[in-house]
Amino acid sequence: MNFLYPLFKKIAFSLDPEVIHENSIKFLSDYPLLGELFNQKVSPFESEKYKVSLNGPSWSFPVGLAAGLDKNALALSFFSKLHFGAIEVGTVTPKPQEGNPKPRLFRYPEDESLRNKMGFNNGGAEKGLCNLLSTSKNDKVLGVNLGKNKITPIDKAWEDYNILYRNFSNISDYLVINVSSPNTPGLRGLQESDALEEILSSLEDVRSEKPCPLYLKISPDIDKSHVSAIIDLVKKYSLTGIIATNTTIMKEKGEGGISGRLCLEKSRNVRKWILDETRECPDLDVIGVGGISSFKDLWDFWLDGGKAVQIYTALIYQGPGILKQIKEGIDDALILNDMKSLNELLENLEKVKSPFLK
């Protein structure tokens, strides 16, 4: 089915990005079985082969779907048929909201990048919950990404995260506090220590009442000392890990956040700082996201010390074929090193032969 996505892309890229996105999600929610066409079949005795063990739930494959593509969990059933190890839906806010005025999604095909200023357009928590309860995620790890409503004052943001945690902790494998979108005024300010601590401390009671792995998603536009301050809080409040990163601001391109190859360098730097600083903390996951578009990028992330990544923009430009390319890359690396599983490869990474130095 290798021809299907290039054909679809040819038509899709001649249309408005958001119109084609919305219609595709609707179509895929009506025809989830289409996912079977892109499925990389893995035989039952290979089920452990691509598994990555994490502090949070283990993933069956080291690549997950990043937040924002299926905000309302409409096409979860379709995406769970692809070879993703985890699927993150949202960002969900407590109340429904329209998001920013259109147009708000732009392509940069020459750089395999996107710019968006969506502003958490979503159907709200009630709709998100209904959709999640009426759909199948198969055996995939499900994450729900949580954000504050635009109309909620910044000093009351913690209330939104509490409502959302309470609503989604029972039906999710992990939750994400999103304080890193550039498209909700003041949101990134919640990454500052005092504001972040207010949110994390306010969640302590509900977290002990309803335990659920909890990640923090951060921006690539922060400096090293700020990253250190965030890590201190993540450790203090025993979060499961950090998702790094959201989109980056490039003023010369216009308003909003840039994703894809143009954000790789900044994202990768932030990931490296976190991985370097948390090397002695195996019980803290660093999920890499931002500009990852090939097996080589995943390999680099492994060399930096990480394990699992997410993608969004590369899926738009390359289609589900990127998952096949990564699966084949892993197969080659395992054969080259005479190993049986990805966990074995990752545990011995400093000794293994690199498929890129053949």
Ligand X SMILES: Cc1cc2nc3c(=O)[nH]c(=O)nc-3n(C[C@H](O)[C@H](O)[C@H](O)COP(=O)(O)O)c2cc1C
Q: Is 314 in the site for ligand X (CB under 6 A)?
A: yes
Between β-strands 86-92 and 141-146, what pairing exists: parallel, antiparallel or unpaired?
parallel
Beta carbon of residue 243, minimum distance to ligand X (angstroms, whole number): 8
Which one of residues 246, 274, 295, 326 is an interface residue with ligand X (CB under 6 A)?
246
Which stretch of DSSP H or E encloses residue 35?
helix 35-38
x/- track of binding to ligand X for residues 94-113 (CB under 6 A): -----------x--------
Beta carbon of residue 280, minimum distance to ligand X (angstroms, whole number): 27
206: number of Cβ within 10 Å = 16
Catalytic residue among 29, 60, 77, 181: 181
x/- track of binding to ligand X for residues 175-194 (CB under 6 A): ---x--x-------------
- Written as one string, the DSSP assignment of 117-148 is -----B-HHHHHHHHHHTS--TT-EEEEEE--
Q: Which is nearer to ligand X, 94 or 291 (CB)?
A: 291
Q: Is 66 in the site for ligand X (CB under 6 A)?
A: yes
Between β-strands 63-65 and 257-260, what pairing exists: parallel, antiparallel or unpaired?
unpaired
Amino acid at 242: I
The residue with its CB nearest to ligand X is: 68
CB-count exposure of residue 301 (10 Å: 0-12, 13-18, 19+)? buried
Alpha-carbon distance of 166 to 171, in angstroms, equals: 10
Q: Is 72 in the site for ligand X (CB under 6 A)?
A: no
Beta carbon of residue 44, minimum distance to ligand X (angstroms, whole number): 30
169 is catalytic: no
Q: Is 67 in the site for ligand X (CB under 6 A)?
A: yes
15: number of Cβ within 10 Å = 11
Beta carbon of residue 91, minimum distance to ligand X (angstroms, whole number): 3
Q: Which is nearer to ligand X, 25 or 314 (CB)?
A: 314
Alpha-carbon distance of 245 to 46, in angstroms, equals: 31
Q: Is 355 in the site for ligand X (CB under 6 A)?
A: no
Q: Which is nearer to ligand X, 308 or 352 (CB)?
A: 308
- Do 99 and 121 meet the contact criterion of CB atoms below 8 Å apart? yes
Q: Is 216 in the site for ligand X (CB under 6 A)?
A: no
Q: Is 91 in the site for ligand X (CB under 6 A)?
A: yes
- Written as one string, the DSSP assignment of 159-213 is HHHHHHHHHHTTT-SEEEEE---TTSTTGGGGGSHHHHHHHHHHTHHHHHHS---
- Do 221 and 250 meet the contact criterion of CB atoms below 8 Å apart? no
Beta carbon of residue 104, minimum distance to ligand X (angstroms, whole number): 8
* Helix axes 264-277 and 224-236, enclosed angle (nearest 10): 50
Alpha-carbon distance of 89 to 321, in angstroms, equals: 21
Contacts (CB under 6 A) with ligand X, residues 116-155: 116, 118, 120, 145
Please state whether 338 falls in left (phi above 0), alpha (psi between -120 and 50) or beta.
left
Which one of residues 100, 152, 240, 313 is an interface residue with ligand X (CB under 6 A)?
313
Q: Is 80 in the site for ligand X (CB under 6 A)?
A: no
Beta bridge partners of 217: 178, 243
* Binding window for ligand X (CB under 6 A); candidates: 29-37, 115-123, 126-134, 233-241: 115-123
Beta carbon of residue 314, minimum distance to ligand X (angstroms, whole number): 6
Beta carbon of residue 17, minimum distance to ligand X (angstroms, whole number): 8
Alpha-carbon distance of 8 to 228, in angstroms, equals: 43
x/- track of binding to ligand X for residues 252-291 (CB under 6 A): -------xx--x-------------------------xxx
Q: Rule CB under 6 A: which residues touch ligand X?
A: 66-68, 71, 91, 105, 114, 116, 118, 120, 145, 178, 181, 217, 246-247, 259-260, 263, 289-292, 311-314
Residues serving a catalytic function are 181
